[in-house]
Amino acid sequence: MELEELVLGAVRSLQGFLCPELVVFIISMIPVLELRGGLIAASLLGLHWPLAVALCVVGNLIPIPFVIIFIKKIFECLKNVRSIAPIINKLEEKAKKSSEKIFKYEKWGLYFFVSIPLPGTGAWTGALVAALFGIKIKNAFLLIFLGILTAAVIMTIFSYGLLRPLIF
């Protein structure tokens, strides 16, 4: 399922009983969708782009300290549940594969990993990698924050077509 389909499904599910701003904020907090999905939703819902960027950045940032602090403990507990253990192992493997790319460029690799809005990258996965490989929370949070800001610029340009007036 593509990102756009997931975003449309989330918008349809939430739109009936929440204001557009809250829909965008919540979508930005959801793993996989994150800021990318939030900005697409904001564009679809007709929100002004500066408000959309603010909602998406804050929404994407809120879960990050909790992921960094608690994910190792949560994974340890979930590994004891037979039906969930394979999923946790798969997530850890994904984080290990991502970490090779990230640590190739040392700490700035985390920034680049979060900032490039492609499938499988983003703040949630960056926070998972940071937690599993012991990057200090202060450093991880700063690099993830900077990555989210960069991703916000890229996604705003694509979601709102801000380059269109310059090209045509």
Do 90 and 113 lie in a common domain? yes
Do 88 and 142 lie in a common domain? yes
Nearest-angstrom CA–CA distance, 125 and 39: 19
Is 105 a residue whose pLDDT tops 90? no
Would you say how long the chain is, in residues?
168
Do 120 and 49 lie in a common domain? no
Our count of domains for the chain comes to 2
Summarize the chain as % helix, strand, coil (round to 5): 75, 0, 25
Q: How confident is the model at residue 163 (pLDDT cuts 50, 70, 90)?
A: low
Per-residue model confidence (pLDDT) at position 119 = 81
One DSSP character per residue, 82-140 reads TTTHHHHHHHHHHHHHHHHHHHHTTHHHHHHHHHS--TT-SHHHHHHHHHHTT--HHHH
Do 13 and 45 lie in a common domain? yes
Do 90 and 45 lie in a common domain? no
Per-residue model confidence (pLDDT) at position 89 = 87
Do 68 and 132 lie in a common domain? yes
The whole domain housing 161 covers 3-61+154-167
Question: What's this model's pTM, rounded to 2 decimal places?
Answer: 0.84
- Is 148:112 a contact under the CB 8 Å cutoff? no
Nearest in space to 129 (alpha carbons), one of 142, 117, 144 = 144
Per-residue model confidence (pLDDT) at position 168 = 41
Model confidence pLDDT, tens digit, residues 37-93: 999 999 999 999 999 999 999 999 999 999 999 988 998 888 888 898 888 888 888
Q: Dihedral sign, CA of 142, 139, 35, 74?
A: negative
Neighbours of 1 (CB within 10 A): 7
Do 140 and 161 lie in a common domain? no
Model confidence pLDDT, tens digit, residues 118-150: 887 899 989 988 998 888 999 999 999 999 999
Per-residue model confidence (pLDDT) at position 13 = 92
Stretch among 5-9, 48-52, 152-156 having the lowest mean pLDDT: 5-9
